[in-house]
Amino acid sequence: MAHFYRDPVSMTSFLEGWIKEELETTASAGGLVGLNGGVDSAVVAALLRRTCGRDNMLALIMPCHNPSDDERLARLFASDLDIPIKKVDLSEVCDMLANGIEVSCGKLSDDARTGIIPRLRMSTLYSVAHNRNYLVFGEGNKDDLYCGRFTKYGDVGVDMLPLGDLLTGEVAALARYLGIPDEIIAKPRSGDSTDSGELSYDDLDRFIATGDAEENMANRIKEAYENSQHKRNPVPIAAIPHNF
């Protein structure tokens, strides 16, 4: 484990206390997270299970033309850690919405179509959470937030981001400590392959933690940060001057 990664035992203890405090402060009955077969959502679900108990948390599987292996891994994890799950298939409603938009407004780009999915999931999570007086917990980690690897008003459209200050390697360390199956921890992430032209999570971890990177890589990371700044900023408000 890299020297700049923090201790997973201490981080787990801190996050459990943080989650309990946030639930108490908001008078919420429990927590809800979307489960997608990846390590980040699994870690959040495991933390909620430990903090809230089985009766006061829920993991929601929301397939939308996903590979079937995603659901298999999500169910494997939930079974191993005795996490309650429900499934809401969004494939049909996503297609209906996208097709309806195209009929009225013209063909959607691939990116525009893809962006519908996390926003539908956000709406689904909040509908279920509202019914149970739960908070919605997101899975975004520090690397993804730093580089803008999220959909605005989609996968970070949540109440809480417990992993928001954790590097990718730290999330993996937490997963091992929490007993998440190795198959989920080892599942490739979209930015793991340097052949894809994306920034690798190893490079991101090192740069964010230490500022260390070869010049070209550092410039690419800084550019990604600057280009995604609008996603992290609050919504701009046109402040009318008092003497208007």
Q: For the sheet with 57-61, list strands across it.
A: 85-87, 57-61, 30-34, 134-137
Residue 225 lies in a domain: no
Cβ(180)–Cβ(46) below 8 Å: yes
Q: Bin 187: left if φ > 0, else alpha if -120 < ψ < 50, else beta.
A: beta
Distance separating alpha carbons of residues 73 and 109, to the nearest angstrom: 30
Q: Which CATH number is 116's domain given?
A: 3.40.50.620
Domain assignment present for residue 55? The answer is yes
- CA–CA separation, 236 and 238 (whole Å): 7
CA angle 235, 120, 46 (to 5 degrees): 95
What confidence score (pLDDT) does residue 2 get? 86
Q: Domain residues for 12? A: 8-187
pLDDT of residue 190: 64
- Find the farthest-apart pair of alpha carbons in the chain and give their distance in angstroms, rounded: 63
Which among 8, 25, 34 is positioned nearest to 161, based on CA atoms?
34
User: What gap in Å lies between CA 205 and CA 233, rounded to an integer?
Assistant: 22
Question: How high is the pLDDT of residue 87?
Answer: 97
Q: Does the pTM of the predicted model rise above 0.85? A: yes
Residue 57 located in a structural domain = yes
Domain assignment of residue 230, yes or no: no
How many folded domains does the chain comprise? 1
Helices (H), 81-167: 91-105, 110-132, 142-147
In a domain, 210, yes or no: no
pLDDT (0 to 100) of residue 193: 42
Residue 140 lies in a domain: yes
Is residue 220 a part of any domain in this protein?
Answer: no
Is 104 contained in some domain? yes
Q: What distance in Å separates the CA atoms of residue 132 and residue 225, rounded to the nearest whole number?
A: 36
Per DSSP, 160 falls in state B
Q: Could you say which residues of the chain have pLDDT below 70?
A: 190-197
Q: What is the pLDDT of residue 41?
A: 97
At 71 the pLDDT is: 94
What is the reported pLDDT for 189?
79
State both tokens at 149: 């690897």
